[in-house]
Amino acid sequence: MNFVNGIALDGPAGAGKSTIAKIIAKELNLPYLDTGAMYRAMALCAISAGISLTDAEGVDDLLQRTDIKVVYEADGQHVLINGQDVTGQLRQEEIGKGASLISKLRCVRDKLAAMQRDIAHETHAVLDGREIGTFVIPETPYKFFITATAQERAMRRVRQLREKGENPDYDTILKDIEARDYQDSHRDYAPLKQAEDALLIDTTHMTIEEAVNTVLRALGAR
């Protein structure tokens, strides 16, 4: 099967996109590109350099001096910033919030989206993000919008954290999720939005397996 230009999975934080995208990529023997990791790496880079995530000029200047690379190793995708592997530092909550902030800047989005577009065109990868189907590779016919209610996404996050031995507060997590949804979908440039030709998959009452099967069936791979 040939998925020229890549496969786009968009949706809000915590909807299960990355889990679904990884399984789809494995099934189809294609690379998986976690585009959020690239925004997270840029946020980490700016924070480490002491540059405010809302300082467009400062961040633009930093971008000119920063070499970002995505490489694949046996355990999956790694992001290198000026040759240094920062993958292990990207999943912290603060970095996620920072990524959401820095992704509002046009200079950041233009640079990262161009890299993502090249990877999609060269490797026909499965990309997950917020605006892959509307902005990064709008030309692909393979588009999915994966969502779930904010309450369900908050519950899933609470369960994940409990499994790690933490004692999270549901209301705080729900508030964070709603704030992130608002910020990602209200930015001026390339906001989180369902593409008109994307297939909407609401996973609120679905298992991961059901969601994966829905995507694979739509791709003609089941």
Contact residues: ligand DC, CB under 6 A: 13, 35-36, 39-40, 96, 99-100, 103, 129-132, 180, 184
* Separation of alpha carbons 157 and 142, rounded Å: 28
Closer CB to ligand DC, residue 164 or residue 220? 164
Closer CB to ligand DC, residue 2 or residue 75? 75
* Separation of alpha carbons 193 and 22, rounded Å: 21
Greatest CA separation for the chain: 49
**Strand 126-129, strand 32-34: pairing:** parallel
Minimum CB separation from ligand DC for residue 160, in Å? 13
Minimum CB separation from ligand DC for residue 29, in Å? 23
Minimum CB separation from ligand DC for residue 37, in Å? 6
* Separation of alpha carbons 162 and 75, rounded Å: 25
Q: Give me the phi and psi of 166, to 5 degrees please.
A: -90, 170
Minimum CB separation from ligand DC for residue 220, in Å? 25
Closer CB to ligand DC, residue 39 or residue 142? 39
* Separation of alpha carbons 127 and 40, rounded Å: 15
Cα of 1 vs its chain's centroid, Å: 25
Structure tokens at 177: 């999720």
Closer CB to ligand DC, residue 130 or residue 157? 130
Closer CB to ligand DC, residue 39 or residue 145? 39
